[in-house]
Amino acid sequence: MNKLYFFYGAMGSSKTAQALMCRFNYMQKGFNVFLFKPMVDRRTLKDGFAVVGSRIGLSAKAIEFDELDDFQTLFKQYKIDQNFEKNVIIVDECQFLTKAQVEQLKLLSFNLPVLCYGLLTNYKTVLFEGSKRLVEIADKIQEIKSVCDCGRKATVNARIVQGKIVTSGEEILVGGDEVYKSMCYKCYYQKLKMDK
């Protein structure tokens, strides 16, 4: 169905793997899938091309965008026919979308499915701009669950520096397990108190 979907979860919840599996399923059914990723995430480049890659080894080439890009313009640039019934957009790391870009994707979702995968909150437990707007206007919102070391549901993306949780600094620091740890709020709160 033509809707705007938002799939969110904490770090390590398999968001990117699920986005890539969704891409495969659509492609297997003959759809043209346009996979987008933000330029701010430069971790995965291959032979000069942007790549969306998951921790379990799945990967695919992607179209990069930055905060100044307009998705209507990107559609024209990549000659994407908005009215072709077998087009799909998938956006990885959608938390880095701007409010305006989420609104552009909402309009595109009138004619084709738009599936966004990303984090809900930053390391300060505050909503990202893109995620906030997705929560406000997405047609369907679904959590992808992951687990804290204690076994509870992980909801916090704690930024760890020299073994301690930090709560100040730039909002965006792209990284994986070397920088972030997904935790439940109880463990986050307890470690935060110990680290002060």
* 78's tokens: 């990549």
* CB 118 within 8 Å of CB 96: yes
Report yes or no: 116 and 134 within 8 Å, Cβ to Cβ. Answer: yes
For 35, the token pair is 């996979």
Secondary structure of residue 168 in the 3-state scheme:
coil
Of the residues 93, 170, 171, 178, only one is catalytic, namely 93
CB–CB of 118/92 below 8 Å? yes
Burial degree of 51 (CB within 10 A; 0-12, 13-18, 19+): middle
**Residue 56 backbone phi and psi in degrees, to 5:** -90, 5
Q: How far apart are CA 111 and CA 94, in angstroms?
A: 20
Nearest in space to 97 (alpha carbons), one of 130, 63, 49: 130
Q: Assess whether 93 carries a catalytic annotation.
A: yes
Longest dimension (CA), the chain: 56
Just list the catalytic residues.
93
